[in-house]
């Protein structure tokens, strides 16, 4: 039988994480925030269902499935914020391209 407390707490955590990702994606201007919210919902809810209903599933596999959606969203968010161009090894991401940060250091 499914334990009620872990199921309720897990469902609340899944719902909160899904809402957080959707809201963040919409405010950051990331394409298809509903898709990202749904992807996070599917991966975390799937992990919760495996944890609750299949006791023989190894815990590391459940954790990988639970973190899949949020980690892929974080990577997409980073690409959307910083662009897909290659990194410049001579500058920090917070420095501006016109050299204003160099003037402030002097």
Tell me the pTM.
0.74
Q: Which two tokens stand for residue 7?
A: 């199921």
**For residue 99, pLDDT beyond 60:** no
Higher pLDDT, 91 or 105: 91
Q: What's the chain's average pLDDT?
A: 86
Give me the pLDDT at residue 73, please: 95
Alpha carbon distances (Å) from 7 to 18, 22, 50: 16, 22, 11
Q: What are the tens digits of pLDDT across the range 52-93?
A: 999 899 999 999 999 999 999 999 998 888 776 777 788 876
Q: Which two tokens stand for residue 77?
A: 């968010």
């Amino acid at each position: 039988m499914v334990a009620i407390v872990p199921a309720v707490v897990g469902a609340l955590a899944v719902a909160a994480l899904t809402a957080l990702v959707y809201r963040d994606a919409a405010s950051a201007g990331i394409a298809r925030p509903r898709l990202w919210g749904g992807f996070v919902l599917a991966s975390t809810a799937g992990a919760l269902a495996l944890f609750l209903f299949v006791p023989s599933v190894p815990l590391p596999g459940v954790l990988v499935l639970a973190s899949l959606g949020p980690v892929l969203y974080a990577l997409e968010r980073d690409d959307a914020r910083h662009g897909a161009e290659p990194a410049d090894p001579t500058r920090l991401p917070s420095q501006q391209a016109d050299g204003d940060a160099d003037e402030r250091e002097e």
